[in-house]
């Protein structure tokens, strides 16, 4: 065999058995699961962050709404997806700590089935009533509820959600009784509040501000330790006579457990870059969120601690699921 032919055969064999270089993540569009209905606070956040992450990652980030069962449907879909970085999940403490506090069994383990990319934001909850209500502040509500407990109904966007927990905490702190009316989402609850079918609502600042700005409803207090950037004139429950009261909602971006290290690093860097942008921080504030980006090194410990807190509230308030 001459040298030329031998060289050709060697080159052909090398090409035949060569292992193709691994493609750099991401190669294709990424799916971002939002376990809430379209139009709600969490969905608004998912769509905005999805667009910003898309610019950093160079591939489309497609938001997929999978609402239902108190976020369980979406959470299960995310937890059981391939851990390849092409399915992400953006959700709140409703998924990660409220559900485990009230369900005896879940089709996902919030502490071990997810890989944290990072904390994104916190969200104030707010106590709302009609603009023409005689209630002017939280003190008026407490006085009225003590005088006639059966009269006062309050709406939330679902049983065992963060607003429900906040309401039960407030009832306990104030020593009052009010009747919970859970709705299937924020929009129908807001519709009934606006229409006068229900006198009070615990909802997110995101959902409330547009209606507050039109003068149709008013806010009595926010439930977080700090005032909302979007409602700086509305006092906190703590400021209104109940020191230490703090119950809000937090949102985190995660993936299925077991993301490859390089994929997680790419996603973490993209999220860090997005959340450091002043324009993003201002946008989140105008939407009603408080930017609060930070990595979560001990996801299991963080989630289990919050589950413990929520479980204590659920036990005292007898928050149950059907």
Q: What is the CATH number of the domain that holds 156?
A: 3.40.190.10
109 and 163 assigned to the same domain: no
Range of the domain at 264: 30-123+249-317
Whether 310 is in a domain gets the answer yes
Average pLDDT over the chain, rounded to whole? 91
pLDDT (tens digit, 9 = 90+) per residue, 52-100?
999 999 999 999 999 888 899 999 999 999 999 999 999 999 899 999 9
Whether 3 is in a domain gets the answer no
Whether 12 is in a domain gets the answer no
Which carries the bigger pLDDT value, residue 155 or residue 207?
A: 155
Work out how many domains the chain is built from and give that number. 2
The whole-number pLDDT of residue 142 equals 97
**How far, in Å, are 6, 17, 18, 186 from residue 9 at the CA level?**
5, 12, 14, 69
The whole-number pLDDT of residue 112 equals 97
150 and 181 assigned to the same domain: yes
Sign of the dihedral defined by the CA atoms of residues 146, 152, 153, 154, in that order: negative
pLDDT at residue 44 greater than cutoff 60: yes
The whole-number pLDDT of residue 322 equals 66
The whole-number pLDDT of residue 254 equals 98
pLDDT at residue 20 greater than cutoff 60: no
pLDDT at residue 222 greater than cutoff 60: yes
The whole-number pLDDT of residue 310 equals 94
Task: Return d(Cα 166, Cα 317) in angstroms, integer.
Answer: 11
290 and 306 assigned to the same domain: yes
Of 222, 257, 281, the residue that ends a domain is 222
Task: Return d(Cα 228, Cα 87) in angstroms, integer.
Answer: 32
Model confidence band, residue 15 (pLDDT cutoffs 50, 70, 90): very low
234-239 mean pLDDT: 97
84 and 138 assigned to the same domain: no
186 and 215 assigned to the same domain: yes
């Amino acid at each position: 065999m001459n040298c030329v032919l031998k060289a050709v055969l060697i080159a052909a064999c090398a090409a035949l058995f060569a292992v193709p270089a691994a493609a750099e993540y991401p190669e294709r569009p990424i799916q971002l699961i939002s376990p809430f209905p379209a139009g709600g606070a969490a969905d608004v956040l998912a769509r905005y962050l999805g667009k910003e992450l898309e610019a950093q990652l160079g591939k489309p980030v497609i938001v997929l709404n999978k609402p239902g069962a108190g976020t369980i449907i979406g959470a299960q879909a995310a937890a059981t997806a391939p851990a390849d970085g092409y399915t992400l999940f953006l959700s709140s403490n409703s998924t990660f700590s409220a559900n485990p506090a009230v369900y005896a069994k879940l089709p996902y383990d919030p502490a071990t089935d997810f890989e944290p990319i990072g904390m994104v934001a916190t969200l104030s909850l707010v106590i709302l009533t009609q603009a023409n209500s005689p209630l002017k502040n939280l003190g008026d509500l407490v006085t009225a509820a003590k005088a006639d407990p059966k009269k006062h109904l309050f709406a939330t966007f679902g049983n065992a959600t963060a607003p429900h927990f906040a309401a039960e905490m407030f009832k306990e702190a104030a020593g009052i009784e009010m009747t919970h009316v859970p709705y299937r989402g924020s929009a129908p609850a807001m519709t009934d509040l606006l229409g006068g079918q229900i006198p009070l609502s615990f909802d997110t600042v995101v959902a409330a501000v547009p209606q507050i700005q039109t003068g149709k409803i008013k806010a009595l207090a926010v439930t977080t330790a700090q005032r909302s950037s979007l409602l700086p004139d509305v006092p906190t429950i703590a400021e209104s006579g109940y020191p230490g009261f703090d119950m809000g909602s937090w949102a985190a971006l995660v993936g299925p457990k077991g993301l490859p290290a390089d994929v997680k690093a790419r996603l973490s860097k993209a999220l860090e870059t997005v959340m450091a942008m002043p324009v993003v921080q201002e946008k989140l504030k105008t939407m009603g969120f408080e930017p609060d980006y930070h990595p979560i090194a001990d996801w299991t410990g963080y989630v289990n601690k919050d589950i413990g807190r929520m479980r204590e509230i659920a036990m005292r308030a007898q928050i149950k699921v059907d």
